[in-house]
Structure 1
Amino acid sequence: TSGSVVTKLSSGTKVTVTSESKGWAKITVSGKTGYVSTSYLTTTAPNTQSGSTDAPKDPVKETPTVTKYVNVDKNSTLNMRSSASTSGSVVTKLSRGTAVTVISESNGWTKITASGKTGYVSSSYLTSSSLDDSKNTDSNENANPGEDTAGSTEGTLKYVNVDQGSSLNMRKSPSSSAGIVAKLAAGTAVNVYSEENGWAKVTANGQDGYVSSAYLTTKQAETPGVSKGETVKTYVNYDMTLDEMASIQMGANPQTDKAYDVYIREDAVAFKSSDKTKGTIIGSGWRLRGGAGTEYSVVNSVQNGQVLTITSKVKGSDGYYWYKVNSTQSWVNASKEDTTYYLNPDNFINTTVQSMQFLKLSAKADINDSEVNERILAGKGILSGKASSFITAANAYGINEVYLISHALLETGNGTSTLAKGVTVNGKTVYNMYGIGAYDGSAISSGAQYAYNAGWFTPEAAIIGGAKFIAQGYINAGQDTLYKMRWNPGAAESTGKATHQYATDIGWASKQVTQIYNLYSLLDSYILKLEIPKYK
């Protein structure tokens, strides 16, 4: 609002939106370019044509809809909440590029429908233009994710394959002359998103960049870094079978970003144009299923007026024809088969990276502070040399030091964020190393105020005090592994219900492990304590 006024636009003026970020839209109108508040823009759909011979006799009137798209950082998700507040419960998580239907906008929140659900999201993470990630835009890709977005590491897992003692350059662009983002040690696990012309686009240790494909391998080294310390495994028996646990989880509608084949029954669809590959949903209550028949599981719901792309037609077991359609939703109901796969510890315990799902977060790692300072925290901004503070925090609140360090590195952008470097509040400099209280739309001010109220006036105080907050959540509640944060088998055993779970994504725990693995792989001195669930 401190920007100078370029022009004044009257109600109804048509503008072209080129990007949206943090509640502002970059627009062009009457040959001028500038920024306006997104809360005062709306999109009106063209008038729908009726009278098609394929339409029902009493067609349902269609309300013009406004479609926008989720615009968060790559590999992140946007929380859809039950109310227009960060204290509202999370209804579902929407991935980058998800199309949503806008109902209303007010005070920085947008009421939407998406994936068959209705809720509220931060307006600053919606854009009117569909996203083409192959192009650079003026989107908010470099914005702080804020409280209402969550990291989601996906891609193909590979490992850095260079000689021990050397490193692989991660660069800003696919060129050996591009600037170096980071140096990756031998055995580092990376997530690969694409490969072209000898370069791989990757994420590693919370950073994005490009590395030479020639130095990546899909096979983990026979002597990975994590094997250097001591590993202690314990087992916890649960009085239920894996199938019983999966059935309990299915009652909580677990979600997945896996692409399923989906079908809709013929009487749910009308063709309103000559294009027989475009079918419009008529009426409400229709659902996409995993096969041609009602005996197949529900993958997602669809809405009246929604247009689906039809790829084929098959006769179902119920005598109806069913259309196979392209699903446009990024998150859908997970099948019991896929849910069972992620529930089964046997699928992960024998892989060093994936076994980190069972890392005991309430158990100290007994790391060596000088080794951590030299191999992990060197060059990490305000966090450099602070290993002893993480060790003190671990001792004080019963929390794994490497987990704390991983959390801090991600939240502070490797020790370089504004909150980490210090913000002045009431004449005093405060620090916040874990992003605690840094809510979407006011991350710096709200995070700094939280730090002031907590008395975090030194980096060390922020590291130690913030650890108390982290421990008081899931870890002190007994959910002290990533696996238990996601699935909470103890509660499922005692109550017969899925409750107090950190995420709905069936692959959440599996997607969180590479950063922790990579930190352990840099060390020689530690104790790796794993707690593995056992079902009847």
Structure 2
Amino acid sequence: MKSGYKCSAKRIAAIGVMLCMLVLTCLTVTSVLNTKAEEAIGQGHVDYDVTGLRIRKGPTTNSSIITTVSGGFKFDIYEETTDDDGDTWYGIGFYLNGSYERGYIYGGYITVDKRNDYKPDADFEEYLDSQGFPDSYKDGLRQLHVQYPNWVFVADHNGKDWSDVVENQNVIGRSLIYGSAVSSWKSVADGCYDWESGKYTGLDGSWVQASSALVEYALDPRNFLNDTNIFMFENLAFDGSLQDESGLESMVSGTFMEDSNHDLSYEGTDYTYITGLLFAGQKSGVSPYHLASRILQEQGYDGHGSSISGTQSGYYGYYNYYNIGASPSAGSTAVQNGLRYASRTDESSLRPWNSRMKSIIGGAIFLGQSYINKGQNTLYYEKFDMTGRGHQYMTNVLAPRSESVKSAQGYSDSNKNNIAFIFRIPVYENMPENVCEIPTGDGSPNNRLSDLYVDGYSLTPTFSLYTTEYSLIVDYDTSSVYVGGSTLDSSADVSGLGYHDLSVGSNDITITVTAANGDDQDYTITVVRQDKEPDPTPEPDPEPDVAYPGFSTTLSVDEDEKYISGLTVSGYVQDVLDKIDNYNGAYSKILNKNGNEKDGLVGTGDILITYNSSGEEVSRYEIVIYGDVNGDGEIDLFDFAQIKRSILGIADPSGVYWKAADCNRDGELDLFDFAKVKRYILGIGSINQ
């Protein structure tokens, strides 16, 4: 297939390999790009899995060392050259101890992020626009176009909303990462991490749930628009004009499949892994390069995987090269379940897989039928299923990235330069403007307190490391309080402890715990300092003209507990005042809980005060609107959440707010109140005021 556009720009050597294993160490230099890089021909970074890569004074291993750098280190590129062995080196600029330095770095462990010598290609720019690629995709595609002008990039507008896709992949068990990864790669969501023990929940052996930040990085196609990882978007169908034995030789070189004494006979023909994989691709319609990549991913480069030993206890003589059906369940290991699957009979996929070639061919047929021939025809889509079936081949969130490396290595430079590869690149609705970068923080993620207290007072609710909001009330004479506490993990830092001055009214005190990996968690204590009590004065003689308010019959007044109910939900101050009759020059006001006069919506906790003609207070009632638990005058999801937290024992409202939460007035906060608020919000029920 022809690309539909041409470019005469000079070909640039492809640089770098993005591998799935990331080891982050402290850099010995500052990784900051030159702010005056107009003379540079591009920018690049050290591959993420690399440590101790040397920057030298010249483009040879004999040149003296300037410094060493590790994965993620960024630099400007000024020159591309080769040494006597034909290996690529780059002349670079970088910051070292605040000074911009120049040196050379070996090209085998770096990725070129951007080439500054790109000359606008009107036809290609028009093509990108016609495909509907967002601007944030175009820089990477331009770089690839300069290197490989025959490659075709298709924008796959799959209609999926970005936030929905991220949420779907954050379901526990759906996106995993190896347990030894840096902490910012691992999730601390509920069910994924035990704060008290500091241990992650194992979901498949040594694998744990991936963090949301890592999921977003792995999902964002813009991170992989380089000459290696682009192959996660390659169509995986069989194509005999592209896929041949020479390509397979390159893929299996140095692996257990290169020179094996395994019996690979099938229907009277003896195969090698190379000829066998090519035959399996023809039979299944699946790329043999993809099949080879799958086997290496599942069984290891040395073939140590138990699924292909043929000697597994209880399943002697059975093989499962692609680990199909291999996930732990019902007390069985992943290998046991995979070999149990291999031992069952299914003629369509050549099962039972009681020979190596039957497993290789039959498993390939299964992949074609289950994934590749049903729309999941790229490495990316096999992991991140967009077909609506909720069907994914791999749980390793970085599997497309690591497998794309193997796929890219399966093609010769000649193939890459001369074949019009077609890459289907996902484009989502409402994507973030900026690329979702890979998280890099390491160290303990534990940012919880083991204790929190206010000296001399009791917090409401009682302290729990899972509860982050507390409150207490102090009298006017208390002008300051002392907040104490300690972290659950000794490596965490905490700020906000100590003495805090208090103003009359509500005071929010924030205690911030910063984990070793940089993640913050705030705890908030709301301290209400009461106003000064007026000086006691002799009771005045009763005045015949003292005017107490007369209430409308629609209102309900509790004279014992001094509260009023029966108000309209979402009613305004004037609506309430219109229901009150005052006599002899008396008047009424509605104040909020802090004592300030209101003029908006009336809510639970507001105060109705009546004054006589001399301006003296003669009555005071708190307002209750049943269902309005947070006092904003409306009944909505915030109130729903407050009642839910009370039922779960996380936090209890008090006073009139408790009364407001007790929607059915049975003296208890329970699921009946929860249901009444839910039905009210949904418009299918009412709450009697």
TM-score normalised according to structure 1 size? 0.40
Between Structure 1 and Structure 2, the one with more strand by share is 1
Which protein has the larger Cα radius of gyration, Structure 1 or Structure 2? 2
- Specify which structure has the bigger relative contact order, considering alpha-carbon pairs within 8 angstroms and separated by 6 or more residues: 1
TM-score normalised according to structure 2 size? 0.32
